[in-house]
Structure 1
Amino acid sequence: MSEHKITATSRKDEGKGASRRLRHAGQVPAIIYGGKSEPKSIQLEHERTWLLSQQEWFYASIIDLDVDGKTEKVLLRDMQRHPFKQRIMHLDFQRVSANEAIRVAVPLHFVNAEKSEAGKTAGVVITHELNDVQITCLPGDLPENIEVDLSTLKPGDTVHLSQVKLPKGVEVPELRLGADHDVAVVMARFARTETEETTEAAEGAAPAAAAAAEDSDAADAAADEGKGE
């Protein structure tokens, strides 16, 4: 597990007005909560934090958060963004304990698809049904991502959640709920061509046209009988 350190400072002013002033000053209001300590209001430099937020690890790694020279291990639990500006409005960090399991959404990295039979077969489309997965583990076992090796993928294959190789100490709680929760992660299927879709559409339209013609003939016959009367 890589180490990531972020520097912040404590703040005493709270409320919407204080947060607005912080943002105007180029700072991001945030809070640390959880564990045996009281919640703590902090602030971070916005430009630096914005750059960090572009990194995948920022959302699924234990962070060493240095607040006024004292470091706490935390996880990012929530980020509020401005609706249309490139601006972080607020951050929530949760303290973690080395001996307590945590639940985190970790990104999936798909590798070696181009080396697989499916990847080398013309007309086969490989789709990723999941981009991340919820896991539980101790903080020391938290991976920044989980690799899904697709080197043996063949046309028609489906890779399920239970088939993903997990790092040591990592579990997927979803799998404890039964086979219905063993969802597809990757699928390799032949793409339907435009010709096939056109043919199927035409075949489907033919019976409908025939039925419409029969209904029309029946209506004409009924009208003729009515005139005869």
Structure 2
Amino acid sequence: MNILIVDDHAVVREGYKALLNAMMPDCRIFDAENGAQTHRLLASSDIEILILDINLSNESGLVLAKIFLKRHPDLKIIFFSMFEDSVILHRAMQTGAMGYISKSSSPEILISAIKVVAKGQKYIERGLAVNLANQLLDTNVDIAAKLTKREFEIFIAIAMNKSRFDIADELGLSAKTVSNALTVIKRKLDAVPSQFSAIAAKHGYIGDAEFSASQSVSFVEKSEK
């Protein structure tokens, strides 16, 4: 079985790669630090299980997961994140992922998740599953619950400083559709695009808040060109 670990911290990647090599010697373990490297490995290495961090540098694993699965429908994704919020978990599973575990979990939990998901079954760490069940009906827990899947994708793209034209091309939409969605997103979140990066970072959907926030102000300017 081929397993790919995607995390933007080299120490994390190397640590878990060594762990899996030791505990699952029959598997081949690969690693990548971003979406571009992941795309290349998925295309060349017959990856069966992808262990994906949600919060990558200037990228969201939640958005990447849907792209990966569209291109590789047989891929099994396990989200491996420091975030234990039930709404983030819910949004993660809506991408089509098969599992979700916390980075604070024991190595045995990770191994169990891989084995269960490899069989085609879903795996959510027990404590997180309980929190999800307790909070799932609260639609005000997180911004993601206020947006449709498409609106959320556009929100994240804007938070990462992409223009409406880039977003339209990436999602297969017209620029007008993106602009209309943006109007709805601003109303639902009561925020302007220049605030999206800080909001997304606060909720754990993208990386460094200060860097993203300093860049996002250009979205409106780029969109009008």
State the TM-score, normalizing by the size of structure 2. Answer: 0.25
Query: Relative to total residues, which structure has the larger helix share, 1 or 2?
Result: 2
Going by fraction, where is strand more abundant, 1 or 2? 1
Structure having the higher Rg:
1
TM-score, normalised to structure 1's length? 0.25
